[in-house]
Amino acid sequence: MKILLLPILLIFSLPIIAQTPCTGGTAGPYPCSGYDLQSELSLTALNASGGNDSWGWTDSTTGKEYALIGLNNGTAFIDISNPTSPVFLGKLPTHTSNSSWRDVKTYNDHAFIVSEANGHGMQVFDLTRLRNVSSPPETFTEDAHYSGFGRAHNIVINEDTGFAYAVGTSSYNGGPHFINIQNPTNPTAAGGYSMDDYSHDAQVVTYCGPDQDYIGREILIGSNENEVIIADITNKSNPVSISTISYTNVNYTHQGWFTEDQRYFILGDELDEQSVGFNTRTLVFDFEDLDNPQLHTTYTGPTPAIDHNGYVKGTKYYLANYRAGIRVIDISNIASGTMTEEGYFDSYPNNDNANFSGAWNVYPYFASGNIVISDMNRGFLLVKAQSTDLVNPVAVCQDITVSLDANGEVTITGADIDNGSTDNSGVVYFNICNEYFDCSNLGANVVELEVYDDFGNKDYCTATVTVVDDMDPQINCPGNSQVLVDAGQNYYTLPDHFANGDVTATDNCASGLILTQSPVAGTQLPIGIHTINFVAEDSSGNTNNCSFDIIVTDVLSADDIAFENGLSIYPNPASKTININSANRSINSISVIDVSGKVVFNSNNLDTLSATLNVSAIARGLYFVTVNNSVTKKIIKR
């Protein structure tokens, strides 16, 4: 019986403070607004003398939530499935020596831990071991270790790709050190990037923001002491710088985080409050165009405390604000430059001075709504908003058909495929990654819609976006033309009018454009009027056409109008009338015969030196005019 009681006694002998509501502006000794204290574990309880970073893990098998707390001498693992009675399960000691800096992130049920302690490298810990801790608190051992670097300030993980990025190492000039952790217990080096200089912190995302040039790319946003850098690190062997941006009164570009739609990047400068003397300053950058980032707005907090780490969930920005504790800022109107503090929990009640103590980090991503605070002086605190929403919205999608524009492009919004998504709070927001379509997307495209509410609760649905091209090609023909038969021949060889540029065609989807000429190039056209037809057809079956006439004539003596004995027939070609003049011989008869031998006009007993024939009623084509039954010449009726 004594053996069974010992671990229980150990748990309850720890200095644990359970739930304390925020009433009258305080929760026990802590100033607060809108946030209750669920519980806390002191540094003494965690057998440490200093706290630093934190993260969280939810066991997908059991649903239990765990807090991962960085300490000066290791990493603590705390079961918070009962938030008012947390269980300190144990600690993974530092790999080498103690350090005030430790950072932890998770991927695939494993924790990855770095420290600024010399020779520390990266520890890997299998978090599923926390399911079966029989005698807490235990002293754990690491499951794997990566020694590709020694010290590191921070570690960043993109859970979409299975890559970790250690920043602030001695490798790659302090830039990100790439590690493949897809097999968590066998981490392997994957290169790195010396991005301008030392990188203090970073965020890496599979990009799903407004800049269509980078959709689906792995984008790193680095906080590099004196500037923010944006890089495309999709190709680990060839990372590419996209752009950089700085700002006025830069002192130490520390850490930042994207808004849910990846339009805005919210940044903290760790030294500006001390150096310049103003209240907590938070800078917001507009990353609509990653190649050309812009400073969007600046938010000033109510205290002079230093800002440290901040994270976005829904329309709220959770800021670890050192001596001012955590501050929760409403960013639902960030596009208009408006940010409003809606609550706080001050884990350092002594004062709000601009000094390095108090809340180091905040982790707000648990589905329960519980929020972890890791405090340099107080250890672990768990808080929760008094007014919160834990209910996911209901995402409802609809299929749509969209048409490409004249540039072969079309852009949709989340609202276009939404079909009445709802939330108990009444407000929903939309994110879609593939909002831009072009000619390569013709046909059915499956699009996922992310629906989220102010509290970051999310639901998803899919829609089929059918992209069609119903725009006809544009085709341009020249005017009618007259050509002479080839020398010594009775025909004219038709050229390729598309190839020589006489006829041009364009389409919003140029690929697959089929151009047809009829008669085809190389056809031998006899003397006469010939209509040449042109058709442009795109890959979607849209067509357009044009045509023009080619009048083929032979080489007549004296410039096609002078006839023997001073006889002239003009104009040729003719459309309405033909003038027949004789300089010195009377015109007695005129006949007009078509190519089949049919007489279409005949007049005798004229006795005139000039005559005008009205040919407007006869069909286009080649005719033969015979004067006085002796002189025959070809004319063209057009």
Whether 564 and 540 have beta carbons less than 8 Å apart is answered as: no
443 and 539 both lie in a single domain: no
For 373-420, the pLDDT digits (tens) are 999 999 999 999 999 999 999 999 999 999 999 999 999 999 999 999
- Amino acid at the residue 82: N
For residue 486, is it within any domain? yes
Residue pointed to by tokens 């008869």 = 589
416 phi and psi angles, rounded to 5 deg: -65, -35
- Residue 558, classed as helix, strand or coil, is helix
For residue 395, is it within any domain? no
For residue 390, is it within any domain? no
Distance CA(523)–CA(519), nearest Å, equals: 6
- Residue 110, classed as helix, strand or coil, is strand
Q: How far is CA 636 from CA 526, 527, 607, in A?
A: 12, 9, 25
Q: Please report the pLDDT score of residue 290 as a whole number.
A: 98
Q: How far is CA 261 from CA 229, 287, 376, 431, 456, in A?
A: 19, 10, 32, 6, 12
540 and 606 both lie in a single domain: no
- Residue 284, classed as helix, strand or coil, is strand
158 CB neighbour count, 10 Å cutoff? 20
Before 31, cis peptide (omega within 30)?
Answer: no
pTM above 0.75, yes or no: yes
What are the b/e assignments for 32-47, b being 16+ CB within 10 Å?
Answer: bbbbbbbbbbbbebbe
CA dihedral 582, 588, 594, 600 (to 10 degrees): 130
Written as one string, the DSSP assignment of 159-202 is: TTTTEEEEES-SSGGGS-EEEE-SSTTS-EEEEE---SS---EE
Quote the tokens at residue 94.
């530092």
Q: Please report the pLDDT score of residue 557 as a whole number.
A: 42
Q: Please report the pLDDT score of residue 9 as a whole number.
A: 34
302 and 432 both lie in a single domain: no
Quote the tokens at residue 520.
């085809």
Range of the domain at 594: 557-637
Q: Please report the pLDDT score of residue 622 as a whole number.
A: 85
What CATH code is carried by the domain that includes residue 591? 2.60.40.3080
Of 444, 468, 492, the residue at which a domain comes to its end is 468
Q: Please report the pLDDT score of residue 329 as a whole number.
A: 98
Q: Please report the pLDDT score of residue 594 as a whole number.
A: 83
Quote the tokens at residue 72.
């000066």
Q: Please report the pLDDT score of residue 6 as a whole number.
A: 33
Of 421, 438, 468, the residue at which a domain comes to its end is 468
Based on its alpha-carbon atoms, the radius of gyration of the chain, rounded to whole angstroms, reads 41
Residues in the chain with pLDDT values less than 70: 1-18, 196, 486-488, 554-565
Q: Please report the pLDDT score of residue 563 as a whole number.
A: 53
Distance CA(39)–CA(383), nearest Å, equals: 7
Q: Please report the pLDDT score of residue 245 as a whole number.
A: 97
487 and 579 both lie in a single domain: no
Q: Which residues contact 158 (CB under 8 A, 6 or more apart)?
A: 165, 204, 205, 206, 218
Quote the tokens at residue 547.
């045509």
269 and 139 both lie in a single domain: yes
Number of folded domains in the chain?
4
Q: Please report the pLDDT score of residue 565 as a whole number.
A: 61
Of 468, 502, 521, the residue at which a domain comes to its end is 468
559 phi and psi angles, rounded to 5 deg: 70, 30
For residue 394, is it within any domain? no
